[in-house]
A and B are shown apart, each in its own frame.
Chain A
Amino acid sequence: MHTDIEIVEAEQTSIDCTMADSTANSRTRDLDKLLLRPGHLIGPNFEPGPELRDDLQEYAKVLVIGAGGLGCELLKDLALSGFKNLEVIDMDRIEITNLNRQFLFRLEDVGKPKAEVAAKRVMERVSGVNIVPHFCRIEDKDLDFYSDFNIIALGLDSVEARSYINSVACSFLEYDSEDKPREETIKPMVDGGTEGFKGHARVIIPGVTPCFECTIWLFPPQVKFPLCTLAETPRTAAHCIEYAHLIKWDEVHNGKAFDPDNPEHMQWVYTEALKRAELFGIPGVTYSLTQGVVKNIIPAIASTNAIISAACTLETLKIASGCSKTLSNYMSYNGVEGVHVKVTEFVRDKDCLVCGSGVLIELDASVTLKKFINLLEDHPNLHLSKASVTHQGKNLYMQAPPVLEEMTRSNLTRPLFDLMGQVARDTVHVTGMMSKNDKKMSGLRKLRVVFKGVDGVADMDSAGSA
């Protein structure tokens, strides 16, 4: 790394304008302009000054979900945008194919937990920032964990995970008697997503802007090939691959599960797909396509992740400080042909089960916790099985872990009314398995429980009484 370039020394000309103000020689030189000065196009509650900057550093806590392509960028961007208390959660380990964009990871890190390496690398370079890594599933953390953060930034690649975090963040939301969201119970989220040259960034203020579930139609379910096409009328290379993967594998391997991360398994599917393609005269089966189809690989590049994460970080800073207007409320990005940025103001679903005021359940005061749990499974809007129930942060019944299950088991036979402290109405949180479009996924719901015949509430409309 050396230069042999000889540059003739130019006469001292005017001051170099690309250099920044050298008198304001502090780490927050650039950010201070935004946080310390009054502005004209700003958010509500913007109170510029050194206190704002210091409070942001001292008190604002941001949780980053995912330490992948978006997560790595988010951690760096947030650390350099005035946030000092960060935590990150990711259940994955580093793979070779991450290295073209997840810039905090090196070849020697392959196999290590993403969250831990990412946190370490950012802390090494940005002094004063503290990042707590969590190498686990998002479902492993309880509500108390999530309630601790001011803002949650989502860098995820699955609809299920987004949906879960969304239900967690919305579960804290409470409405006042005029059906307005209580400000102190709002847990804002920023959400990013990318695919190739395309992506989105959005701001979710539960109770104010649509939550993930209000606009779930933005993420249509993945199209699966009909089995009869695979078995009887294959036409494309992908049909041959899915035949080998979904039908032939089970026929041959009696009971042995297919593991997409096992190269031998992948090779077997590829070879079988190739045989089938030859049999039918179908072109295009390659090893790379086989991996792509079987693992549902979404192409990903560094630039789009950088763009989307930057937009999410900017919005996080705005929500936390009010230093500018916030995105209202969904930005879609497409860089395939030029650059198209489109902002759409989506509207809330008034009847949303997740960010609404909660499903109303009317019960007799005598209903036991066990009966209540059974009732949730049959509830037409909930379909929630294996429910765990908490009330005001107290575990009434937990399905897992076994220790907690045993501790709470005796509650099952007691009336819910008593367990909830004999109040006429209150909110309970339930987590469990929900079935949606024939798919099981874990979820969380907020329920407004009202006891009949107590406190004169018998005339309330009942949205979900059993």
Chain B
Amino acid sequence: MAEPKTKYDRQLRIWGEQGQAALEKASVCLLNCGPTGSETLKNLVLGGIGSITVVDGSKVDVGDLGNNFMVDESSVGESKAKCVCTFLQELNAAVKARFIDEYPEKLIEMKPSFFSEFTLVVATQLPERSMVNLDRICRDANVMLVFARSYGLTGVVRLSVKEHTVIESKPDHFLDDLRLNNPWLELKRFSESIDMNVPDPVAHKHIPYVVILIKMAEEWAKSHNGSLPSTREEKKEFKDLLKSKMIGLDEDNYKEAVDASFKLFAPRGINSNLRQILDDNCAEVDSRSSDFWVLVAALKEFIFNEGGGEAPVEGSIPDMTSSTEHYVSLQKIYQAKAEADILVMELRVRNILKKIGRDPDSISKMTIKSFCKNARKLTVCRYRLVGEEFSSPSLPELQKYLTDEDYSMAVGFYILLRAVDRFAANLNSFPGQFDGEMDEDVSRLKSITVGLLTELGCNSSILTEDLINEMCRFGAAELHAVAAFIGGIASQEVIKLITKQFVPICGTFIFNGIDHKSQILCL
């Protein structure tokens, strides 16, 4: 048996040992194992999810062989849940796989307590009524929920969790935390210790840009009443000043200083996203507050006191042209400041915990450390119940999407996916599901759609005939390629929710398989 660590190497480089451990502890329930559900689970089983439970009451028929890789000829007539489960188990022996040969709708109606044992439920191909009911059940039981559905060339992924908080959001691009416009004493002293007019050209071209910018900012401030460059002209003047200090054309450190000068011009203090989190009602903590909000409460105190308006220093610096000695010294200065900030934060966290009647040691030092390092990137996602969204979507947003060319097709599909469920609830089949009734179905779907839009208070003439016709043509087909796409997105979001890393979709993802202009709608 090979080391599991080796097998997971390529993903450990993304979500680390901690993320992997969270996955291996999680239990996921899948409702309906057509291609959309099967493909979702396949991606999770490969990644080493703890356990899966496949729920589906249907038998495999010949049609399933054309769109689902997890059933084959020998499965026809057998329980679909059993066949899919058997194949998934083959993919990864470390995963505990089981199945339940039952229709999800029945479980939702008759045995809601069934769902409370899971970390997360993936519900695929459910009609609106079952979605609404399941959502309430999972919300009450505090179980995370992901809806996924493929329908012809469109599809949808929607998450539902009361609140999902992320410490390690790991954004692609984020401003380095260098404090160039607000250096603390040790950083200032270090900068002062370096002579910018050193005659040795080798030494001159190895002064790190952090030092160059801090020194030049100070020089600038002296002649500008203590303020930094703010207008376009001033910024240009400052960059020219930097260039004038170069003594050779090959001085990469000065080029880096010019390129990085925007980091100096950035405003002091915290960003608006963090401000919003600090101002959240949940930041007023009591004994029922989650660890995350206790940490936010401590952060708030830190920023208003020791931080002087700033969050704890992150403690890492990007690579830059420098002598080894200067670079390592700088690294140590940032690290030392980060550690000092962590200590202060720790004290505050322990005090708050005591105040709200919890064990002061109930939040680990490691968590506090990670929280401080990521303080500027915290993320909070909250999801409405789908029932609420369906009965009262945000009207201004809806109007905006309907009139925005980039969104028109996506919002069209969003409305039509609801309309086909109404159609099916009334007529016991989806529009275009049977050959031969296309023309009637098109006009029926059209009037249902018009009714739905009017109910929502929207201009009903806004949806194009073409899209309604296409929706009928799709006839509720579950195409494998679309299912693989939707299943891919669904599994990715499950991973984000379980590892508590990265930022999940905050809204409804609508797949547009016609021109690939897929969108997220926040209603």
Contact = CB atoms under 8 A, between A and B. Distances in A.
B432 A338 contact: no
Nearest to B73: A127
A8 interface: yes
A137 interface: no
B482 A314 contact: yes
A26 B67 CA distance: 11
Contact of A338 (B7, B46, B68, B506): B506
Among A30, A97, A306, A335, find the residue whose CB has the most chain B CB atoms closer than 10 A.
Answer: A30
A89 to B, nearest CB: 22
Interface in B497-516: 502-507, 509, 513-516
Interface residues of A, number: 93
Contacts of B114: 5
Contacts of B487: 306
B39 interface: yes
Contact of A325 (B2, B35, B62, B514): B514
B103 A16 contact: yes
Contacts of B319: 235-236
Nearest to A298: B10
B30 interface: no
Interface stretch (A99-107, A175-183, A207-215, A355-363): A99-107
Interface stretch (A75-83, A391-399, A456-464): A75-83
A94 to B, nearest CB: 12
A124 B73 CA distance: 10
A196 to B, nearest CB: 5
B106 interface: yes
A355 to B, nearest CB: 22
Contact of A303 (B43, B68, B505, B516): B43
A393 to B, nearest CB: 35
A101 B513 contact: no
B433 A20 contact: yes
Contact of A306 (B73, B103, B323, B484): B484
B111 interface: yes
A33 B474 contact: yes
A289 to B, nearest CB: 9
A27 B484 contact: no
A16 to B, nearest CB: 7
B429 A5 contact: no
A106 B171 contact: no
B8 A39 contact: no
B506 to A, nearest CB: 6
B473 interface: yes
A146 interface: no
B194 interface: no
Interface string A89-116: 0000000110111010011001000000
Contacts of B109: 10
Describe A's contact surface by its main secondary structure: loop
Interface residues of B, number: 117
Contact of B11 (A38, A76, A301): A301
B369 interface: no
Nearest to A306: B488
B434 interface: yes
A23 B434 contact: yes
A435 interface: no
A343 B477 contact: no
A81 B14 contact: no
Nearest to B65: A27
A216 interface: no
A226 B99 CA distance: 56
B503 A234 contact: no
Given A235-B322, A314-B485, A8 B473 contact: no
A65 B37 CA distance: 28
B110 interface: yes
Interface in B467-493: 467, 469-470, 473-482, 484-485, 487-489, 491-492
A80 B467 CA distance: 25
Among B86, B331, B467, B513, find the residue whose CB has the most chain A CB atoms closer than 10 A.
Answer: B513
A281 interface: yes
Contacts of A296: none
A34 B479 contact: yes
Interface string B38-66: 01001100111000000000100111011
Contact of B518 (A27, A40, A281, A341): A341
Contacts of B72: 124-127
B66 A27 contact: yes
B63 A24 contact: yes
Interface stretch (B90-98, B184-192, B283-291): B90-98
B172 A97 contact: no
Nearest to A292: B13
B324 interface: yes
Contact of A16 (B105, B477, B520): B105
B356 to A, nearest CB: 32
A73 B487 CA distance: 13
B152 interface: yes
Interface of A: 1-3, 5, 7-8, 10, 14-31, 33-34, 37-41, 73, 76-77, 80-81, 96-97, 99-101, 103, 106-107, 110, 124-127, 196-197, 201, 233-236, 280-283, 288, 291-292, 297, 299-307, 309-311, 313-314, 317, 324-325, 327-328, 331, 334-339, 341, 343
Given A16-B103, A97-B7, A338-B505, 6 more contacts: A18-B32, A38-B473, A96-B7, A300-B11, A301-B10, A303-B491
Interface of B: 1-2, 6-14, 32, 35, 39, 42-43, 46-48, 58, 61-63, 65-69, 72-73, 82, 85-86, 89-91, 97-103, 105-107, 109-111, 114, 125-127, 152-153, 169-172, 206, 319-320, 322-324, 327-328, 331, 421, 424-425, 428-430, 432-435, 438, 465-467, 469-470, 473-482, 484-485, 487-489, 491-492, 495, 502-507, 509, 513-520
20 contacts: A3-B102, A10-B110, A26-B62, A27-B62, A39-B469, A39-B470, A40-B473, A80-B66, A81-B479, A126-B72, A301-B492, A303-B491, A304-B492, A306-B487, A314-B513, A317-B481, A335-B502, A336-B171, A337-B172, A337-B503
**Which 6 A-B pairs have CB atoms at the shortest separation, nearest pair first?**
A29-B63, A306-B488, A307-B488, A310-B485, A80-B480, A310-B484
